[in-house]
Amino acid sequence: MNSIRVLAAGSLRLVWPELIAAFKAHQRMNVETEFGPAGLLCQRIQQGETCHLFASANAAHPQTLLTSGKALSVAVFTHNQLCLSVKTALISASADWLALLTDPSLRVATSTPQSDPSGDYTWQLFDLIEQHYAGRGNALKDRALQLVGGPKSPVVPAGEMAASWLLENDRADIFIGYRNYAARLKNLKTLTVLDIPSPFQVQADYALAICQAEAQPLADFLLTAQAKRILQQAGFSC
């Protein structure tokens, strides 16, 4: 039986087993997957680590591999958005998402830009806030605690979500992360999930890079209607 190795963005961890199970129902192929911040995974591939397929939380890293000759092709296969997770005790009737986010007394945690696409998308959010409210977006960049996805970030325990782990252990008051976790986070009474409205919302484009031809069947499956349904049910958008 053929076997392929996948390096995949950490935000795909929860939905990946269902995707692979659906794929293997049609293909006799073993899939070994390792998850991590997409920026750091991309660096490993560039440095020569064996990878048949790279599933990134942005399109920039796969495109970098394609440009450098480390990938055969690239395709966007799903999308995500950002949301805020806030300690419920901090929520009041008069405090909307922006008032909470820009309150200088509250600790705002993010992923790490460049290492983790979630951090890059968050910095795009800060830029949008800066365009509408001069000074506020730049102040958020200065205040943000980059606690996830960096080479020296604290390790989130297996089975935990970064947002709940950081907030429930009092490492932050607000966490900006991916919306695909929202349904699970909303089950926690200690946390409240707030959507980010347009025109501030940032779309996260997830792209795959075929690094070796053996991964073509899996890449093809991830672009099917069946895979898109699985991703949508898990909180992604297609």
Kindly list the structural domains of the chain, giving each domain's residue range(s) and its CATH number in brackets, ordered by start.
Answer: 2-79+204-233 (3.40.190.10), 82-195 (3.40.190.10)
Number of residues assigned to the chain:
238
Share of the chain above pLDDT 90, in %: 95
d(CA 41, CA 182): 25
d(CA 77, CA 12): 12
Cross-strand bridge partners of residue 5:
32
**Cα separation values, 104 from 40, 110, 172, 197, Å:** 31, 15, 13, 21
Q: Looking at residue 1, what is its pLDDT?
A: 59
Q: Looking at residue 148, what is its pLDDT?
A: 97
Cross-strand bridge partners of residue 82:
178
d(CA 148, CA 85): 14
d(CA 53, CA 234): 21
SS (H, E, C) 57-103: CCCHHHHHHHHCCCCCEEEEEEEECEEEEEEHHHCCCCCCHHHHHCC
Share of the chain above pLDDT 70, in %: 100
Q: Decide if 161 contacts 184 (C-beta within 8 A).
A: yes
- Encode pLDDT of 202-222 as tens digits: 999 999 999 999 999 999 999
Residue 159: φ, ψ to 5° = 85, -10
**Cα separation values, 238 from 81, 115, 122, Å:** 11, 25, 21
- Encode pLDDT of 66-119 as tens digits: 999 999 999 999 999 999 999 999 998 777 999 999 999 999 999 999 999 999
Task: For residue 158, name the pLDDT band (cuts at 50, 70, 90).
Answer: confident
d(CA 122, CA 221): 30
Question: Average of pLDDT values for 30-40?
Answer: 97
Distant-in-sequence, close-in-space partners of 202: CB < 8 Å, separation ≥ 6: 81, 82, 121, 122, 124, 125, 128, 196
pTM for the predicted model, two decimal places: 0.96
Query: How far is C-alpha 100 from the chain's CA centre?
Result: 22
Alpha helices by DSSP H, the chain: 16-24, 38-46, 60-67, 97-101, 117-132, 136-143, 162-168, 182-185, 216-222, 225-233
